Amino acid sequence: MAHADTVTLFAAGSLTGALTEVARAYEAKSSHKVATKFGPSGLLKKEIADGAKADVFASANMEHPQALFEDGTGGPVLRAIDKKTGEVISEFKLPANQSGHPMTYMLNGRQYIVVAVGARNHPAELVALRLD
């Protein structure tokens, strides 16, 4: 699996100030770098649809990420990353946007992660994943 040494962030130009500050704070607290690209959301959406890699896409218009999700190009994922190495251990595509913080619990010696998801066109539900 790939290492998460660099997180690629595509974001709307209107978010430049706030997300630049967030990216710097993240870099200061982790061993990872954040490569940022700011611009019009529609153009960034086209780049992603054409194959550009973006770990995070923050759009001023939620129709853009939704269109990528519906086309199968992008969408919400739950990604497990080894905190020591930065290696992506696993990635699971979620059926809708995450709408709450992940929860974890142990049952019969196995760990589970539960994520609340939901969207305008997807009823709210809980997605439970077992870690093996």
Residue-wise pLDDT tens digits, 53-83: 888 889 888 888 878 877 777 667 787 777 7
**pLDDT, tens digit, for every residue of 89-109?**
777 888 888 888 889 999 999
Is the model's pTM score more than 0.85? no
Strand ranges, E, within the chain: 6-12, 33-39, 56-58, 77-81, 88-93, 103-107, 110-119, 122-131
